[in-house]
Chain A
Amino acid sequence: EVQLVESGGGLVQPGGSLRLSCVASGFTFSSYWMTWVRQAPGKGLEWVANIKQDGGEKYYVDSVKGRFTISRDNAENSLSLQMNSLRAEDTAIYYCVRSVSMAYWGQGNLVTVSS
């Protein structure tokens, strides 16, 4: 069974940093692109970033470029999202998702940016 378990969310002040993690199981992690998607409270889905199997290609939505960094550790079956210079508009549930076409989703992790 495919499982994606996120952790690391919480409350942070504007300008602060947070690191989200996602541990994968039930599939060969190193064989898949991985993606982060977010959803602001009461709003729709927004693609944030994704990373190729070997970490050699990474893509970001413009609003997070230069502030967020996606990375992965295939030996540990883990995906991360380092979020710096956080803004109120980054407040959202962040989902770890398998593949570009988003076949499997984690349960989501809430990040709240507020003073």
Chain B
Amino acid sequence: DIQMTQSPSSLSASVGDRVTITCRASQGIGNDLGWFQQKPGKAPKRLIFGASSLQSGVPSRFSGSGSGTEFTLTISSLQPEDFATYYCLQHNSYPHTFGQGTKLEIK
């Protein structure tokens, strides 16, 4: 199974900060990676697909990069509505696997 190691597991930041979350795959997955945002009591929402393509309707302050085994999600300038938990997902090989999540909290 491919393990997705997401870091950090939690992060405190302020409105306006630039934030980066990383996912490392235990083996190469090409660009078969997505990033998701989940707020309490809500279903996850896809932000990024194909490692770097922005989902329609998602603000441009979100961006994704990487390929192979190392991937990053960057939020260029944090907004109040961005405080949530973020997950990466690999769908290159079965079983598909998520990272353990990054909880982004207000400093």
Contact = CB atoms under 8 A, between A and B. Distances in A.
Nearest to B38: A45
Interface in A86-115: 95, 100-108
Interface residues of A, number: 20
Contacts of A95: 43-44
Interface string B23-63: 00000000010101010000111100110000100000000
Contact of B36 (A50, A102, A106, A108): A102
A39 to B, nearest CB: 9
A102 B43 contact: no
Contacts, number: 52
Contacts of A44: 87, 98-101
A60 B50 CA distance: 22
Nearest to B34: A101
Interface in A1-58: 35, 44-47, 50
Interface of B: 32, 34, 36, 38, 43-46, 49-50, 55, 87, 89, 91, 94-101
Interface of A: 35, 44-47, 50, 59-62, 95, 100-108
